[in-house]
Amino acid sequence: MNNKKYDKGLVWFRRDLRSDDNAALYHALKACHQVFCVFVFDQAILDALPRADRRVEFIRESLVDLDRQLAELGRHHGVSHAGLIVQHGRAGEVVPALAQKLAAEAVFASHDDEPGSLARDARVGEALAGDGKAFHSFKDHVIFERREVLTLGGTPYSVFTPYKNAWLRKVDDFYLRPYPVQNHGAALATLPADCRTGVPALEDIGFAPTNLAELKISTGSPGGSRLFDDFMARIDQYHATRDFPAVKGPSYLGVHLRFGTVSIRRLAGTALRLQRQGSPGAAVWLSELIWRDFYAQILSNFPHVAERSFKPAYDAIAWEQGPAAEGLFRAWCEGRTGYPLVDAAMAQINQTGYMHNRLRMVTASFLVKDLGLDWRWGERYFAEKLNDFDLSANNGGWQWAASSGCDAQPYFRIFNPTSQSEKFDADGKFIRKYLPQLAGLTGTDLHSPWLAKPVALAAAGVRLGENYPLPVVQHDEARALTLQRYAPVKKTAAE
The arithmetic mean of pLDDT across residues 101-123, rounded, is 97
pLDDT score recorded for residue 409: 82
Sheet holding 6-13, edge to edge: 85-89, 32-42, 6-13, 106-110, 134-138
| Packing angle, helices 323-333 and 375-385, rounded to 10 | 40
Which class does domain 8-140 fall in?
alpha beta
Residue 145 is a catalytic residue: no
pLDDT at 381 over 90: yes
Residue 377 is a catalytic residue: no
pLDDT score recorded for residue 408: 82
pLDDT at 240 over 50: yes
Residue 350 is a catalytic residue: no
Q: Which of 375, 377, 387, 400 is catalytic?
A: 375
Of 415, 436, 413, nearest in space to 340 by CA? 436
pLDDT score recorded for residue 432: 98
Q: Are 138 and 24 in contact (CB under 8 A)?
A: yes
Q: Which of 93, 145, 301, 319 is catalytic?
A: 319
SS3 138: strand
Residue ranges per structural domain of the chain: 8-140, 142-177+220-301, 312-490
CATH topology of domain 142-177+220-301: 1.25.40
Which residues, in sequence order, are bridge partners of residue 16?
none
pLDDT in tens, 433-458: 999 999 999 999 999 999 999 999 99
**pTM for the whole structure:** 0.96
The arithmetic mean of pLDDT across residues 469-476, rounded, is 98
pLDDT at 108 over 70: yes
pLDDT score recorded for residue 494: 47
The C-alpha atoms of residue 191 and residue 197 are separated, in whole angstroms, by: 10
Q: Are 219 and 65 in contact (CB under 8 A)?
A: yes
User: What one-character-per-residue DSSP string does 325-380 give?
Assistant: HHHHHHHHHTT-SS-HHHHHHHHHHHHHS---HHHHHHHHHIIIIIS---HHHHHH
pLDDT score recorded for residue 33: 98
pLDDT score recorded for residue 50: 95
pLDDT in tens, 401-430: 999 999 888 888 999 999 999 999 999 999
The arithmetic mean of pLDDT across residues 20-33, rounded, is 98
Residue 332 is a catalytic residue: no
pLDDT at 317 over 70: yes
Helices in 111-195 by DSSP H: which ranges? 115-130, 160-170, 173-176
Query: Predicted confidence band at 492 (pLDDT cuts at 50, 70, 90)?
Result: low
The C-alpha atoms of residue 239 and residue 156 are separated, in whole angstroms, by: 28
pLDDT at 120 over 70: yes
Q: Which of 211, 301, 357, 416 is catalytic?
A: 357
CATH annotation of 312-490:
1.10.579.10
pLDDT at 345 over 80: yes
Residue 12 is a catalytic residue: no
SS3 190: coil
User: What one-character-per-residue DSSP string does 242-253 give?
Assistant: TT-TTSS-S---
The C-alpha atoms of residue 402 and residue 365 are separated, in whole angstroms, by: 7
Residue 288 is a catalytic residue: yes
pLDDT score recorded for residue 495: 46
Dihedral of CA atoms 329, 333, 338, 340 in degrees, nearest 10, equals: 150
SS3 280: helix
Q: Which of 288, 320, 384, 422 is catalytic?
A: 288
pLDDT at 488 over 90: no
Question: pLDDT over 70 for what percent of the chain?
Answer: 99
Helices in 2-90 by DSSP H: which ranges? 23-31, 43-46, 54-76
pLDDT in tens, 39-88: 999 999 999 999 999 999 999 999 999 999 999 999 999 999 999 999 99
The C-alpha atoms of residue 330 and residue 318 are separated, in whole angstroms, by: 20
Q: Are 376 and 394 in contact (CB under 8 A)?
A: no
Mean pLDDT, the chain, whole residue set: 97
Q: Which of 291, 332, 377, 400 is catalytic?
A: 291
Helices in 236-334 by DSSP H: which ranges? 238-241, 254-259, 264-276, 280-301, 323-333
Same fold, 8-140 and 142-177+220-301: no
Query: Predicted confidence band at 491 (pLDDT cuts at 50, 70, 90)?
Result: low
